[in-house]
Structure 1
Amino acid sequence: MTIDGIRVEREGDIVTVTFDRPERRNAIDYVQWQGIATLFNELADDHSVRGVILTGAGGCFSAGADISDFETTRATPEQGIAYEVAVDAACDAITALGRPVIAAIDGYCYGGACNIAMACDFRFLSPTARMAIPAGNLSIVYGVRGTMRLLALVGLTEAKRIFYSARPFDASHALRTGFADAVEADPVAAARAWLEDVKDVAPLSIQGAKAILNMASMPDTSFNGHAADEAIFRALTSDDYKEGRAAFAEKRRPRFTGD
């Protein structure tokens, strides 16, 4: 699909999604939030995709939600609630994608962009990356699901520090506190290398593990044991499970298709 200000490119079985409004530091407007949800729901239906990289153009991941958009999209309490629903839908669609998603972050990653980054499986940062959740500078309470994602990553005290101070923190601090998983000179290249290294792992195994771990890590989501059992059963009855056993017996690399 095409979204104004967001580029979607595919190389082999890896998709790169790039926020591309460098003149606005890749700030995300309301229409783009809606488009992100649609995009990742469409990617979920394409089983040939083995991984996704989220990044930003012009040396900046994203300055977050486009505040200049708020007078028309978030001026009333009703609009504010609808806006949060769109943000949650975008981030939940990223989290729900049954393949690995890596945020490759350079420059600013502020506000709502942190929510997007936290919705990814991993965050690879450049040494010059700067993160912040400055909701307190706008008298905004960060959304519940984004707050829970931050808590799961960095713990209670660090999450409070980030929210209470509204101040930026750098890549080394992010790595030390658990917000980041790696600091790399070229985070996009590092993300691609990581995805290339794991793309031969059985897709249904990754999808099932991701779904169970995501449910277990979000306190506002009731653990759906039936869904977990379905993921396990689907893998056990798949052609890939037969292929995995055959490859083991024949001492060769398995060729998984996600079926």
Structure 2
Amino acid sequence: MNPEPDTSPVRLTREGPIARLTLNRAAKKNAANARMWRAIADLTGEARRMEGLRVLIVSGEGDSFAAGADIAEMGALIGDEAGAADYAATFSRAMQAVADFPHPVLAMIRGACIGGGCGLALACDYRFADTTAKLGVTPAKLGLLYTVDDTKRLIDAVGVSRAKSMLFTASVYDAADAKAFGLVDEVIAPEALEEAVTAHADRIASLSPFTITAMKRFVKQAQARGEDEESRRAFAKAFAGPSFAEGFLAFKERRAPQFSEEQES
């Protein structure tokens, strides 16, 4: 007997230390409606609570990552300020849940990655695209706005001038151009994309979870405000921690380190 197809708008699955968040609306090129934005936030929260998790991969079912937000649904918000405010809060909560995820988040991009879909990819730490990918930030086509947080992430990726050009022209770029100005980090042949993303995730999962999680915090802090007393203490304290003890011993013994899950402090 064949299993029933999974009709959840977003799926969360796990294999060992790696979890996958998959947008599951392939018939609409994974255009995200409010239900999907809520699910992204909720399932990302669920993944945060998974013991031993080290990497999250975000992707779309079928041949697209996410063709933006569901415009048909958004049309119902015209003239509805309360409904629009609720939608905006739901959208922002989803993006922030991905951006604030404590472990590395990898975007695996095929096909359309437009508008809110591009924002979701930018909320990830690293973006792999195959050669079918098309990326753009297009609110100017609809008379809408990009949030300040999404705009900040776009600027961090491509710089101020390119971000302005993308926002002002609503242009859509192929994967090669997107890589040339930093919108994506790697461009892979379609048949090799899954393997490349999985290998990168496996590599991260093999290293110290203490270091990776702390350095993700440090990178975010460096972008926001720079060094402070708390981060200086954390840097110094790492030398006395179990992760360094194991890494140093493995180095001396010329073997691969066996890092364990460690309580951060």
Aligned to 1:257, what secondary structure does the other structure show? coil
Match 1:211 to one of 211, 214, 217:
217
CA distance in 2, matches of 1:102, 1:174: 16
CA distance in 2, matches of 1:162, 1:246: 49
Aligned to 2:57, what secondary structure does the other structure show? strand
Query: Conserved in 2, the CA contact under 8 Å of 1:96 and 1:211?
Result: no
Query: Over the residues paired in the alignment, what is the CA RMSD in angstroms?
Result: 2.3
Match of 2:259 in 1: 256
CA distance in 1, matches of 2:125, 2:237: 22
Provide structure 1 residue ranges, at least 5 long, that are not aligned to the other structure.
Answer: none
> TM-score, length-normalised on structure 1?
0.89
Match of 1:246 in 2: 249
Q: Which amino acid aligns with 2:259?
A: F
Match of 2:193 in 1: 187
Provide structure 2 residue ranges, at least 5 long, that are not aligned to the other structure.
Answer: 1-5
> TM-score, length-normalised on structure 2?
0.87
Query: Conserved in 2, the CA contact under 8 Å of 1:30 and 1:73?
Result: no
Distance change (3 Å), C-alpha of 1:24 and 1:238 = same
Whichever of the two has the greater Rg, that structure is 2
Cα deviations by residue, 1:86-112 (Å, 9 ceiling, x for unpaired)? 222222221222222111111100111
Match of 1:157 in 2: 161
CA distance in 2, matches of 1:206, 1:20: 29
Cα deviations by residue, 1:217-246 (Å, 9 ceiling, x for unpaired)? 25xxx5683653575467455432332233
Query: Conserved in 1, the CA contact under 8 Å of 2:7 and 2:24?
Result: no
Aligned to 1:241, what secondary structure does the other structure show? helix
The question of 1:135 aligning with 2:139 is answered yes
Q: How does 1:215-230 map to 2 (within 5 A)?
A: 215-218=221-224, 225=228, 228-229=231-232
Aligned to 1:18, what secondary structure does the other structure show? strand
Deviation >6 Å, runs of 4+ = none
Match of 2:52 in 1: 48
Instruction: Report the number of matched residues.
Output: 255
CA distance in 2, matches of 1:174, 1:89: 26
Query: Conserved in 1, the CA contact under 8 Å of 2:9 and 2:39?
Result: no
The offset of 1:74, in angstroms, is 6.7
Query: Conserved in 2, the CA contact under 8 Å of 1:211 and 1:228?
Result: no
CA distance in 2, matches of 1:3, 1:74: 29
Match of 2:123 in 1: 119
Q: What percent of counterpart residues are identical?
A: 31
Match of 1:19 in 2: 23
Cα deviations by residue, 1:155-192 (Å, 9 ceiling, x for unpaired)? 11111111111121110110100111110013232111
Distance change (3 Å), C-alpha of 1:216 and 1:242 = same
CA distance in 2, matches of 1:75, 1:210: 41
Query: Conserved in 1, the CA contact under 8 Å of 2:55 and 2:204?
Result: no
